[in-house]
Amino acid sequence: MKLPRDVSGSDLARALAIYGYSVTRQTGSHLRMTTQQNGEYHITVPLHRQLRVGTLAAILADVAEHCNTTRDDVAERLFGA
């Protein structure tokens, strides 16, 4: 799946709630998000207006690895078509 090019950090943070992620702290323009599903796991999401494609791909790959799925499956569930 081709990743969307117009995802903001706050949009991604809201979407990650599907996987049980919630904000545990904020330092400057970065959120630390934690999930308890499949064991405790943390990711960092920059609160930029538009995330770079590589940054988005890396975050989705981390979520996918923790959830034992593929990056494309995570992207499909978060962003739809």
Query: Can you give the residue ranges of every domain in the chain?
Result: 9-79
- Residue 43 has a CB neighbour count (10 Å cut-off) of 20
Specify the pLDDT at position 30: 96
Token couple for 5: 């090019």
The CATH classification of domain 9-79, taken from the options 1.20.58.220, 3.90.1150.10, 2.60.40.1080, 3.30.920.30:
3.30.920.30
Token couple for 71: 């990056």
Position 8 pLDDT exceeds 90: yes
- Average pLDDT rounded to a whole number, residues 2-18: 93
Specify the pLDDT at position 18: 92
Q: From residue 60, give the alpha-carbon distance in Å to each of 1, 74.
A: 12, 7
Specify the pLDDT at position 81: 52
11-67 pLDDT tens trace: 999 999 999 999 999 999 999 999 999 899 999 999 999 999 999 999 999 999 999
- Residue 33 has a CB neighbour count (10 Å cut-off) of 24
Specify the pLDDT at position 26: 95
Reduced to 3 states (helix: H, G, I; strand: E, B; else coil), residue 6 is: coil
d(CA 44, CA 33): 6
